[in-house]
Structures are given as structure tokens and as C-alpha cells.
Amino acid sequence: MTRFVFVTGGVVSSLGKGIATAALGALLQARGYSVRLRKLDPYLNVDPGTMSPYQHGEVYVTDDGAETDLDLGHYERFTGVAASRADNATTGRIYSDVIARERRGDYLGATVQVIPHITDAIKETILRGTEGVDFALIEIGGTVGDIESLPFLEAIRQLGNELGPEGAMIIHLTLVPYIPSAGELKTKPTQHSVKELLNVGIQPHMVLCRCDRPIPAAERRKIALFCNVHPQAVIAALDAGTIYAVPLNYHAEGMDREVLRHFRLPADREPDLSRWEKIVAALHAPEGAVKIAVVGKYTNLLDSYKSLAEALVHGGIANRVRVDLDWVDSQVFEQPDAVAQLEGVHGILVPGGFGERGTEGKIAAVQFARERRVPFFGICFGMQMAVIEAARNLAGLGGASSTEFGPCEAPVVGLLTEWARGNEIERRAAGGNLGGTMRLGAYPAMLAEGSLVRNIYGGAERISERHRHRYEVNIRYRDALEEAGLRFSGISPDGVLPEIIEYPDHPWFVGVQYHPELKSKPFAPHPLFHGFVGAAVAQARLV
């Protein structure tokens, strides 16, 4: 039997509902249960793929090619369970499905309404594909009290009734702020937030209280009393130095025990949390530090590079060092001699990106890394910039650029209009829809013998990584670029799409067309991040 845990949020947004859900998933796993984590988002976009990273942070891509909310990245990093298209749904997705059914005539003459048609579609989305897992954890995006979340809350209210307390549990995450002038933690916002939930017919079974200091017994009792939950079901979610300490902190607060108690499951044995203890110990006692410059575009909103930042932390864990990140807006390097600022960094990373602004600065950073023999890692757009740099400065193609920025003399990076997906051919036309039409999800690549990447991937000949791009390095320039010293060390199995480039005579210079950061886990750091941070450690010994 699958048990459902719904996680809602109140008072303010950004309290860390995604991490809370992911951490509970990790705790249940540590007790031997299987989990599946899902997120429902109340906005009207069909998926976050068309949203600016400034609006919504990173777009997380699953193996099956869905563009999803970044919380799915936390779910995967905490549980190792690969997410899929079915694990993220938005209001836009639900409505477009219901409207498509209406147009087909599936409702047989009925008036199509929010209740029951939208709510039924939400319930189907929650239940679909959860057979066989012990716990399905369902995070409801947004904050209670928003108009947008009402259909989702109504759907979980109904499901709560249908499944009963043995089948469903509601956890509500709120804020318990400390008011310095009063010298007190305040419980009123939590009380009001639970009232909002009660207004729509939902009584939470646990209140998870985000706070910056421990909650004294008197305040806990007060929350329990006014919110109508057991005092043991008032769990403090204290600010943590690292997100990977959250499962341990929740366990210390008794969260997993309380969840099992709710479902009348035995909780006499302790969970195996050694995985998390090891990660936290490594993060707390690094043997050194490296400084890595991330030269990108959306550097003032760190959520836009969430998985990247985490993968670099994982690379640090693998090498037992602290990784200090210096986020630089690439436009800075468009001023003469500004790249000199990169002097002394132990690694340079150019991440994924879109659009022309700041590209000359990225190219300047690539050139600096290549010429000064600083470890370099180019991801997706970063690889494309590295190829343009090589074409211009090594292969004598002064007019080299990407057609993403308009027509150019030497289009070393061009629009992908056709590619193989298994035995099928995917086709795109210039000027088509932008939503969900990139080359998305897991695709294989073949690694060249004797290359650095082959070694990094432990000798594997064929790998699979997640992609999200519309443009691609043009294979027709391969010979010219290889003659100039750039090696194409990873190619799609049909030999037409360059996936990886490297310089054999550089200490560590790798560009990849895919997003390795999406598959890195704290307990299984991605080999490329392990290798890149390792190269930065070697560089730190040199400078």
C-alpha cells in the first residue's frame, strides 16, 4: 500500500519546502522504505521551460526529457531516485489536458468545471504511477492563501478523505520568526497559516516550523494547542549550515518517527543515517580550499545555477576540500584587460546559458583558461563558447560564432534541426514553438579511447547524460578544429553531434554539450566534478 504525504507551505515562500520534502524522503529511505517524490506547481505555464531563470531559477531536466521545477533536483540529490515527467505538474499542464479532453468530447456533454474536473485531473496526476512505492511525497508549490493553489488544496483535501489517516498525511511548513525587540519567537503567523488551511477544510497532522533558533517547550505547546496537532508533531526546522545536514536535524527532532507513528508503522529501530553523517563530516572538516570562478549570466540569482552549485559542493566532498565559488557576470570581462581578475583562481567554469549578452566575456575567460593552463570546465553553452574561442584564436576562423546570435561567417555552432532519438528522428523548424522543443533529456555519447574523459568516466566507452539545448557544435568544423589542437573526445553514436571537447596538452580543459550537474549526488559526486575540483586542487598547489 502506498502512503501519501502532502507538504504544503504557509506564511511566506522560500522556506525550503523542496528541501524539507527531499529530506523526509531521505529519512524514509534510511528506514528501508521506497519513495517517490512529486511537485505540483500552481502557475499557468505548462512547464518552467520557457521561464527566465531570473523568474524561476534553474530548469531541471529529467532523463525522459521533461523540463521541471528545480525542487526535483533536490529530490534526486537527496534520494537518488530518478525523477520523470510524471513527477512535476503545473496548473497549465492540468488545464491544457482537461481542455484537450473537452475538445475531444470525452466529457460527454457535461459542463466542465474546476470541481470536479480539474480536481479529478489533479488527483489522477498525484496517484498515477505510485503503485508499488511505500511512500509518495507530494509537495504543493506556492503558499496557502494564494488563489492559484486552491484547486490543488481541494484535491488533496478530497484525497485525504478518500485515503483516510492511514493513507495520507499533511505536513505544513511555516515560519516562526524571532522578533529581536521582544526577544521572542512568534507563533502567531503559524497559527494564522494553519487557519488558512482549515478554511479550505484541511487539518495538518504535522507542523514543520522554520526558525533560526530552537523553539522553547512553551512555544511548542502553544503551536500544538492552537494548530490542533500533537506536541511531538511540532517539528523545528532550524537553519542549517549545509542542506545535507537537514535529514540529520529532522531526525534529531523526531520527524521520521512521528510520520511512522501517524501511519501506525513500527518505529522502534533507528534509521541508517551513516550516508548523511559521512557527507556532513566531510563538509565540516575540509583538508583545504579551492577557488573556482563561475563565469555566467544569471550570477545574481544563485537559484539559476542550483544543480551546478551543488555539483561543485559534491566535487569538494570527493576531494575533501571546500570549494569557494566566485560568481562573475561575464560582461565584466568585456572591458580591456579585465580577465586579469581571474589571476589566482584554481579553476574556471562557464555554465549553460542563452542569448548573446555577455558571450564575448565568456570567450575571453575561455581564452584565459586555455592560455594560462588553468583548469577549465565548459558546460553546454560553455562548451560552445570554448569551440568559438578555438575557432577564432587557433583555427584562424575570425568570423566564428553561433547562429543563436544571428547569421555569421563561420557558424561553428548552429541550430539543431534534426537528430536521432533511439530509432526515431526528431525534427525542428526554425521559428517553431519554443516550449519543450529543445533536444531534451538523456542521450548517449561515445568516448574516444585514450581521452581524458574516457579516463574520468572510469574507462566507459558509452555514457548517458542529460541535455537541454537548441544549438550544437557543427561537425563540419571538426577537422579544422582538431588540426588546431582541440580534440573531439565524445560524439553521439551516429557520429554527427559533438558531445565533448578537450585539449590533450592542457592540464584539465573539458567542454560538454550536456549537463552533468543534473546527475551529481552528494553521496555519488559526478566524475566530471570530481575530476574538475581535483584539477583545481592540483592547480592550487602550483600557484
> What is the contact surface with ligand GLN in residues (CB under 6 A)?
352-354, 380-381, 404, 468-471
Beta carbon of residue 382, minimum distance to ligand GLN (angstroms, whole number): 7
| Closest CB to ligand GLN among residues 353, 358 | 353
| Measured CA angle at 41 (ends 35, 46), to 5 deg | 115
Tally Cβ neighbours within 10 Å of residue 511.
30
Tell me the closest approach of the beta carbon of residue 430 to ligand GLN, in angstroms.
Answer: 13
274 vs 433, beta carbon nearer ligand GLN? 433
| Strands annotated E in 253-403 | 289-296, 322-329, 347-350, 376-379, 400-402
The smaller minimum CB distance to ligand GLN, of residues 357 and 470, is found at 470
What SS3 state is found at 60?
strand
Of 380, 465, 506, 526, catalytic: 380
> 8 vs 24, 56, 505, CA distance in Å?
14, 19, 53
The residue among 354 and 523 lying less far from ligand GLN, judged by its C-beta, is 354
Q: How far is the CB of 471 from ligand GLN (least distance, A)?
A: 3
Least Å distance, CB 421 to ligand GLN, is 17
E-assigned strand segments in 316-417: 322-329, 347-350, 376-379, 400-402, 410-415
Q: Please give the C-alpha separations between residue 329 and each of 49, 70, 421, 448, in angstroms, as whole numbers.
A: 23, 22, 35, 34
Nearer to ligand GLN, 356 or 461 (CB): 356
Catalytic residue among 346, 467, 515, 526: 515
Q: Please provide residue 37's backbone torsions phi and psi, each rounded to the nearest 5 degrees.
A: -115, 140
What are the Cα distances from residue 198, in Å, to 172, 192, 193, 485?
A: 11, 10, 9, 66
Residue pair 124/160 in contact (Cβ under 8 Å)? The answer is no
Catalytic site includes residue 469: no
SS3 of 367, please? helix
- Closest distance of CB 296 from ligand GLN, Å: 10
Residue with cell 589566482: 344
N- to C-terminal Cα separation, the chain: 58
| Distances in whole angstroms, Cα of residue 61 to Cα of each of 35, 78, 466 | 20, 16, 7
- CA gyration radius, the chain: 25
3-state secondary structure of 363: helix
Q: Which is nearer to ligand GLN, 48 or 353 (CB)?
A: 353
**Measured at CB, which residue is nearest to ligand GLN?**
352
Residue in 139, 262, 517, 530 annotated catalytic: 517
Q: How far is the CB of 365 from ligand GLN (least distance, A)?
A: 15
Q: Are strands 400-402 and 410-415 parallel, antiparallel or unpaired?
A: parallel
Looking at residue 132, the DSSP 8-state letter turns out to be T
Please identify, using beta-carbon distances, which residue of 368 and 471 lies nearer to ligand GLN: 471
Distance CA 121, CA 334 (A): 50
Q: Which long-range contacts (CB under 8 A, 24 or more apart) does 309-313 make?
A: 310/73, 310/77, 310/517, 310/520, 310/522, 311/516, 311/517, 311/520, 311/525, 311/526, 311/529, 312/349, 312/529, 312/533, 313/242, 313/283, 313/522
Active site residue 404: no
- At its nearest, how many Å lie between ligand GLN and the CB of residue 125? 27
Closer to ligand GLN by Cβ: residue 246 or 385: 385
Least distance to ligand GLN from the beta carbon of 499, Å? 13
CA distance 143 to 15: 10
Report residue 360 CA to chain centroid gap. Answer: 27
Nearer to ligand GLN, 200 or 302 (CB): 302
Work out how close the CB of 6 gets to ligand GLN at its nearest, in angstroms, rounded to a whole number: 33
Residue 517 among the catalytic residues: yes
- Please state the separation of Cα 174 from the chain's center in Å: 23
Residues annotated as part of the active site: 380, 515, 517
